[in-house]
Amino acid sequence: MATTAEPVTRLVEELSKLPGIGPKSAQRLAYHILRSPNKEAHDLAEAILSLKEKIHLCSICFNITDRDECSICQDEGRDHSKICVVERPSDIPPLEHTSKYNGVYHVLHGAINPSRGIDTEVLKIKELMIRLSSDEVKEVILATNPNLEGETTAMYLRRLISPLDIHISRLARGLPFGADLEYADDVTLGQSIEERRDF
């Protein structure tokens, strides 16, 4: 005979499927939810359901949104002549947090990784090229990650975009703020020297 009631076991099982949650943590969370008021548990369940039901991709930039077009694409105050190309929707909040960028975005949903079968067909590259075919766009900022897959994607995009009359830029690479030269890795330090700027 099971020592724990079935609904608790079921919730523990479901919670332990989440990343970083082991069976012990799942059990703690399950008992916390059990002790909390009905409304809190209801709100949590509803929040999870509405996330899956309401969230879809923006028809323009493919960021996640609960509307047809995301709030950034709808914002008339933003500079729609600049498109910042990122790998994932989660790359947008940190860029927005800097308050240094006022253009719009395009989410590729991945980066080229041939050995994992992620090629140009899987990514939202065709959709980007359709956006770029309008005269409105003047600059594309390639903000894919500075790793092998991100660089490959950026080089591929540069090859596609360069025939168009659009300025292409890439996020700067080099030392992060607060770094120590003594402990910087050779690749990053090398790039910082190569891509040094006038001061």
- 69 interacts with another protein by CB under 8 A: no
Assigned token pair, 62: 């493919």
| DSSP-based three-state secondary structure for 148 | helix
Q: Give how far Cα 112 sits from Cα of 58, 86, 149, 162, Å.
A: 22, 12, 6, 19
Q: Judged by CB under 8 A, which stretch of 42-50, 69-77, 99-107, 149-157 contacts another protein?
A: 149-157
- For 35-67, the DSSP string reads HS-HHHHHHHHHHHHHHHHH-EE-TTT--EESS
Q: Is the dihedral of CA 104, 110, 113, 114 positive or negative?
A: negative
CB of 151 to another protein, least distance (A): 6
Our CB check for another protein shows the closer of 72 and 143 to be: 143
* Whole-number Å distance between alpha carbons of 164 and 107: 20
Our CB check for another protein shows the closer of 59 and 90 to be: 90
Our CB check for another protein shows the closer of 138 and 146 to be: 146
The amino acid present at 47, given as its one-letter code, is A
- 179 interacts with another protein by CB under 8 A: yes
Q: Which of residues 107-136 bind another protein (CB under 8 A)?
A: 112, 114-117, 119-120
CB of 68 to another protein, least distance (A): 32
Q: Which residues bind another protein (CB under 8 A)?
A: 20, 112, 114-117, 119-120, 147-148, 151-152, 155-156, 159, 176, 178-179, 183-188, 190
